[in-house]
């Protein structure tokens, strides 16, 4: 016995339900011929050590300084497919303040995303950015509190803490979804890429380190692209 036999619906409502269901399934399904670009970014330079301001009870005492995490790169299409801009959905992301470090050090988001900046330290922080697509200053706030910023223009945002000069991070804001942040092993994957010719860019620690042409063919499901940056 069918669902319609158990729960009869007016024909107009049934037609509307079918249209809505088809729209949902269409939005979830990948574009015909869409493929994957994947690979690894190897960073071949040593990470600098952060210059940490000591707390009052640490003055005159030597202490270890953790190196800045430069292993995370962002790989993206320089120019996205023409249909890419229609399916960018605003989201929410998080950049924590933990052990006087921004976590993650590199965050990649789409336009319209709101980023939360919670304070997980037992000290005050003051998150700010002076230049770029979204200058802001969140002011000082205590442990356990959080403030947020909505990024509505594409570009690169350099993030700092007014209290702790050694703290810094990057937020890359894209107007499309064809980007990926590398994992701890340097690997990345960009999905649902339609056939076409593109320029693939590897960005690391404030600069474009390498770019190369990429061709995604109609019958090609995977394109491999590795980078080695300094």
pLDDT in tens, 89-148: 668 999 999 999 999 999 999 999 999 999 999 999 999 999 889 999 999 999 999 999
Q: Are residues 22 and 38 in the same domain?
A: no
DSSP of 65-113: -PBP----EEEEESS--GGGGGG----EEE-EEETTEEESSEEEEETTE
Q: What is the pLDDT of residues 153-206, one digit of tens each?
A: 999 999 999 999 999 999 999 999 999 999 989 999 999 999 999 999 999 999
Q: Give the model confidence (pLDDT) of 102-116 as tens digits.
A: 999 999 999 999 999
- Provide the number of structural domains found in the chain: 2
Both 77 and 91 in a single domain? Answer: yes
Instruction: Please write the tens of the pLDDT for every residue from 5-56.
Output: 434 434 443 443 333 334 333 333 445 568 999 999 999 876 655 555 444 3
**Based on the domain organization, do 10 and 98 belong to the same domain?**
no
φ, ψ (nearest 5 deg) of residue 34:
-65, 145
Give the sheet arrangement for strand 106-110, strand by strand. Answer: 106-110, 168-174, 155-161, 125-129, 136-141
Rounded CA-CA distance 151/176 in Å is 14
Same-domain pairing of 138 and 189: yes
Domain that holds residue 5: 1-30
Residue 51, domain member (yes or no): no
- Assess whether 2 and 116 both reside in one domain: no
Note whether 24 and 40 are same-domain residues. no
Task: Say if 210 falls within a structural domain.
Answer: yes
User: Do 159 and 90 fall into the same domain?
Assistant: yes
CATH number of the domain encompassing residue 149: 2.60.40.420
Residue 221 pLDDT more than 80? Answer: yes
40 is written with which tokens?
């690894």
In terms of domains, do 86 and 180 share one? yes
Q: Is residue 109 part of a domain?
A: yes
Q: Do 16 and 72 reside in the same domain of the chain?
A: no
State the pLDDT at residue 65: 45
């Amino acid at each position: 016995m069918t669902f319609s036999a158990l729960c009869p619906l007016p024909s107009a409502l049934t037609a509307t339900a079918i249209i809505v269901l088809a729209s949902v399934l269409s939005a979830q399904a990948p574009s015909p011929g869409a493929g994957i670009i994947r690979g690894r970014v190897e960073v071949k330079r040593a990470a600098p050590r952060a210059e940490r301001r000591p707390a009052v009870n640490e003055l005159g005492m030597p202490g270890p300084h953790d190196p800045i995490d430069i292993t995370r790169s962002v790989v993206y299409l320089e120019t996205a497919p023409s249909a890419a801009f229609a399916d960018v959905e605003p989201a929410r992301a998080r950049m924590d303040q933990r052990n006087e470090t921004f976590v993650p050090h590199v965050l990649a988001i789409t336009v319209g995303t709101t980023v939360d900046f919670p304070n997980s330290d037992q000290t005050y922080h003051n998150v700010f950015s002076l230049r770029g697509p979204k200058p802001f200053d969140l002011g000082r706030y205590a442990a356990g509190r959080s403030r947020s910023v909505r990024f509505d223009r594409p570009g690169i945002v350099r993030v700092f803490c007014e209290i702790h000069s050694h703290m810094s991070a990057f937020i890359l804001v894209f107007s499309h979804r064809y980007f990926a942040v590398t994992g701890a092993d340097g690997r990345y994957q960009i999905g649902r890429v339609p056939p076409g010719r593109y320029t693939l860019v590897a960005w690391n620690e404030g600069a474009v380190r390498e770019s190369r042409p990429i061709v995604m063919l109609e019958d090609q499901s995977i394109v491999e692209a590795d980078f080695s940056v300094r």
